[in-house]
Chains A and B, each alone.
Chain A
Amino acid sequence: MSKKQAGFYIDAQRCIGCYSCAMACKNQYHQEPGVHWRYVYPLKEEIYPHRERAWMSLACNHCEHPTCLEVCPVEAYYKREKDGVVVHEQEKCIGCQNCIRSCPYGAPRFNPARHQAEKCSMCYQRLDAGLKPACVQGCPTYALQFIEDMASFDQSGKVQYLAGFPRFPELNPSVRFRPPREPREVRR
């Protein structure tokens, strides 16, 4: 593991499914129509069988052992030593889409205008300037938070693999979730 590993904390009890995080990412990077690096996925009824809904906001998980980095034939990906952020260098990308096929979380996306892959970079330029990622800053309920170092993050009550989020321990995705709570029934 690199010296430090940054990550995302997704609190499904606070998330209201407003897509502000996805929109903040769009506003920051002006992605092509239809391309989104962060997206809000509703938990399906088979997992959360209630009239209320629950969501998880997902982008790149900046895995400890990223598949994208491993499979890229032109070494367009690298992992920053200082915080473990997985960065995609577009000037190196030849648009083979091998990373898109191989990432089990579907993080890299194809940009049809540039004919290249692209993905969340955890706003590393903002991190270097002492700011939080745009999606984290845009969340109105603090449901999406930035973890500066996974090693020192308080894990109590949190899980790495929420139901609805595929389990790939060999990748070790740098995300933690607080599972949604059962909705309370109010009787009148």
Chain B
Amino acid sequence: MVFTDFSLVVFSTLAQLAVGLTVMAALQPRAAGESGEVKLKVEWVTAGLILAAALMASMFHLGHPSGSPRALVHLSTSWLSREILAFGCFGGVLVLAFLTLWKNSGGSSLLIRLTAAVGLAALLVSGMVYAPPSFPALNNGVPVLFFLLTAFILGSAFGAYFVGAERQGLLVKVLATSLVVGLVVNLILPSIWLSGGTVARMTGANFYGSWLYWLRIAGEFVVPLAVLGAWKKIPAWLPILLLLGEAAGRIMFLNSVVHTATNLGGLY
């Protein structure tokens, strides 16, 4: 299968970035006073705009975008319907939390945590869409794991833009941990696939044989970990590098994982 549609790369990466930002906003202690509140509002608006851009990009994936509202009708069995509902709920709670923040009324911290929880739930649902039986390498918890890693890596990296340099400690810890987990997962997973059936083995070989895979390992994991180890802070250019790395990973996720139908007539 040749993947030519980048709208799914943009949609999934940006939506997970938006979830990551809300999760980090819920975890991050804020500076007291007005500056902390303003930064939180800006971060929240940014998360909302990123989610809007993601949802807009998802429309370009559809052959007939005008029919997209009907995609909610099959909630009983379709994970795609559930994914649309979940991200709709995420967007709704995100807006509600922003309105509460804007009015400085009580309960905003509760709504911020609720938004993060709904966002994480949306990622779980989203992972199920990409785990059909036709992809033996993904017909398990791997998509959910990938999506959570994307949210934590990008959320902690981009979250650094919205806190002062002196308050990056937690974000640096979350980012470094996520990068270590991501590096280990991405190095080991193709080996696990190589020990599976024929189609899973083809997927493992595709990953290890791809220059994009190795470029991502170096550019998204090794170099940023070295930077974090040396500087103990998140420089302004690092989130962009990580975003490019995640986009490369998503291209591989959508393009290099082998479908069972590609080997019809062969061993399974």
* Chain A residues packing against B (C-beta within 8 Å): 41-44, 46-47, 56, 58, 67, 70-75, 92-98, 101-106, 114-116, 163-168, 170-171
CB distance from B132 to the nearest CB of A (A): 4
Residue of B nearest to A110 (CB): B63
- Interchain CB contact under 8 A, B73 and A73: yes
Given A73-B72, A74-B74, A96-B80, are A67 and B133 neighbors across the interface (CB < 8 Å)? yes
Q: Which residues of B contact A116 (CB under 8 A)?
A: 63-64
Given A67-B134, A72-B74, are A94 and B64 neighbors across the interface (CB < 8 Å)? yes
- Interchain CB contact under 8 A, B129 and A98: yes
- Interchain CB contact under 8 A, B70 and A94: yes
Q: Which residues of B contact A67 (CB under 8 A)?
A: 132-134
Q: Which residues of B contact A92 (CB under 8 A)?
A: 67, 70
Q: Which residues of A contact B268 (CB under 8 A)?
A: 164, 166-167
Residue of B nearest to A162 (CB): B265
- Interchain CB contact under 8 A, B261 and A106: yes
Number of interface residues of B (CB under 8 A): 34
- Interchain CB contact under 8 A, B260 and A166: yes
Task: Give the residue of A71, A72, A163 whose beta carbon is less than 8 angstroms from that of B267.
Answer: A163
B31 on the interface (CB 8 Å rule)?
A: no
Question: Interface digits, B48-68 against A, CB 8 Å rule (1 contact, 0 not)?
Answer: 000000000000011111011
Extra inter-chain contacts (11) besides given A94-B70, A98-B80, A98-B129, CB under 8 Å: A46-B266, A58-B264, A67-B132, A71-B77, A72-B74, A73-B80, A101-B259, A104-B134, A105-B264, A114-B63, A164-B264
Q: A-side binding surface: helix, strand, loop or mixed? A: loop
Residue of B nearest to A42 (CB): B265
- Interchain CB contact under 8 A, B267 and A94: no
- Interchain CB contact under 8 A, A165 and B64: no
Task: Give the residue of A72, A104, A115, A170 whose beta carbon is less than 8 angstroms from that of B63.
Answer: A115
- Interchain CB contact under 8 A, A73 and B264: no
- Interchain CB contact under 8 A, A101 and B132: yes
Give complex CA distance A125, B177 in Å.
59
Q: Which residues of A contact B133 (CB under 8 A)?
A: 67, 102, 104, 168, 170-171
CB distance from B265 to the nearest CB of A (A): 4
Q: Which residues of A contact B259 (CB under 8 A)?
A: 101, 104, 106
- Interchain CB contact under 8 A, B266 and A44: yes
For this complex, 5 residue pairs linking A to B, each with C-beta atoms less than 8 Å apart, are A47-B265, A47-B266, A72-B74, A73-B73, A94-B70
Question: Interface digits, B132-172 against A, CB 8 Å rule (1 contact, 0 not)?
Answer: 11110000000000000000000000000000000000000
Give complex CA distance A47, B265 in Å.
8
Give complex CA distance A93, B267 in Å.
33
Give complex CA distance A71, B219 in Å.
36
B35 on the interface (CB 8 Å rule)?
A: no
Q: Which residues of A contact B74 (CB under 8 A)?
A: 72-75
Q: Which residues of A contact B13 (CB under 8 A)?
A: none
Task: Give the residue of B73, B77, B129, B266 whose beta carbon is less than 8 angstroms from that of A74.
Answer: B73
- Interchain CB contact under 8 A, A164 and B72: no
Residue of A nearest to B72 (CB): A73
Give complex CA distance A96, B263 in Å.
23
B78 on the interface (CB 8 Å rule)?
A: yes
B79 on the interface (CB 8 Å rule)?
A: yes
Q: Which residues of B contact A163 (CB under 8 A)?
A: 267
- Interchain CB contact under 8 A, B79 and A71: yes
Residue of A nearest to B134 (CB): A104
Q: Which residues of B contact A171 (CB under 8 A)?
A: 133
CB distance from B22 to the nearest CB of A (A): 25
- Interchain CB contact under 8 A, A43 and B80: no
B38 on the interface (CB 8 Å rule)?
A: no
CB distance from A23 to the nearest CB of B (A): 19
B45 on the interface (CB 8 Å rule)?
A: no
B12 on the interface (CB 8 Å rule)?
A: no
B126 on the interface (CB 8 Å rule)?
A: no
- Interchain CB contact under 8 A, B63 and A94: yes
- Interchain CB contact under 8 A, A44 and B78: no
Q: Which residues of A contact B262 (CB under 8 A)?
A: 106
Q: Which residues of A contact B243 (CB under 8 A)?
A: none
- Interchain CB contact under 8 A, B267 and A104: no
